[in-house]
């Protein structure tokens, strides 16, 4: 585990739609530029496709789409954060990921009760870093699809069947 001598865990900070999110360094395999994405038929809407990273085919999830934010074209700052959870490697597409931070466990607070059940499920907690509020993501929950919101039961069933075979 990436815990330093002061008891703070190491995180990679990502920007997404003007908000700072944190991913545990231990959950991250590597950071890459967003390369060529190949669409996958009938994949959930938040799966942008698959990409080849150092000889491996990795599914790429748009965190903007996963969180219900408006999509934007990828640019030179966009990053593919390759995470590993439950034996699967998946790329998370974020607006920017260039900063590391040590966040003491004691400064991480649970998400407020007012958040929707789905939003708080993705969050492990929140922490204040200087003037910034940082939302700490739970990678394993992010990658669970069966509980993702869908406009219809048919779409939910489709999502539950497809992403596990891609991811």
112 or 96: which leads in pLDDT: 96
Average pLDDT over residues 118-130: 83
pLDDT band at 143 (very low <50, low <70, confident <90, very high): confident
pLDDT at 116: 54
Residue-range domain boundaries for the chain: 8-166
Q: Which tokens go with 5? A: 């001598």
Residue with tokens 């545990």: 24
Residue 88 has pLDDT above 90, yes or no: no
* 155-160 long-range contacts, CB within 8 A, separation 24+: 158/42, 158/44, 159/44
Residue with tokens 């934007």: 72
Q: Which fold has domain 8-166?
A: OB fold (Dihydrolipoamide Acetyltransferase, E2P) (2.40.50)
The candidate with the shortest Cα–Cα distance to 127, out of 29, 26, 23, 30, is 23
Lowest pLDDT segment from 6-10, 51-55, 56-60, 82-86: 6-10
Contact 83, 23 (CB under 8 A): yes
């Amino acid at each position: 585990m990436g815990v330093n001598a002061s008891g703070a865990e190491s995180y990679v900070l990502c920007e997404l739609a003007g908000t700072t999110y944190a991913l545990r360094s231990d959950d991250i395999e590597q950071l890459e530029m967003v390369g060529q994405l190949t669409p996958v038929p009938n994949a959930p809407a938040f799966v942008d496709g698959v990409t080849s990273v150092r000889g491996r085919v990795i599914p790429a999830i748009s965190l903007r789409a996963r969180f219900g934010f408006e999509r934007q074209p990828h640019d030179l700052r966009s990053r593919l954060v390759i995470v590993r959870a439950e034996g699967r490697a998946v790329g998370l597409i974020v607006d920017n990921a260039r900063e590391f931070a040590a966040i003491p466990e004691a400064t991480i607070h649970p998400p407020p009760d007012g958040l929707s059940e789905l939003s708080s499920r993705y969050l492990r907690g929140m922490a204040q870093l200087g003037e910034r509020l940082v939302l700490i993501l739970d990678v394993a929950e992010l990658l669970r699809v069966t509980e993702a919101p869908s406009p219809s039961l048919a779409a939910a069933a489709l999502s539950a069947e497809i992403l596990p075979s891609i991811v």
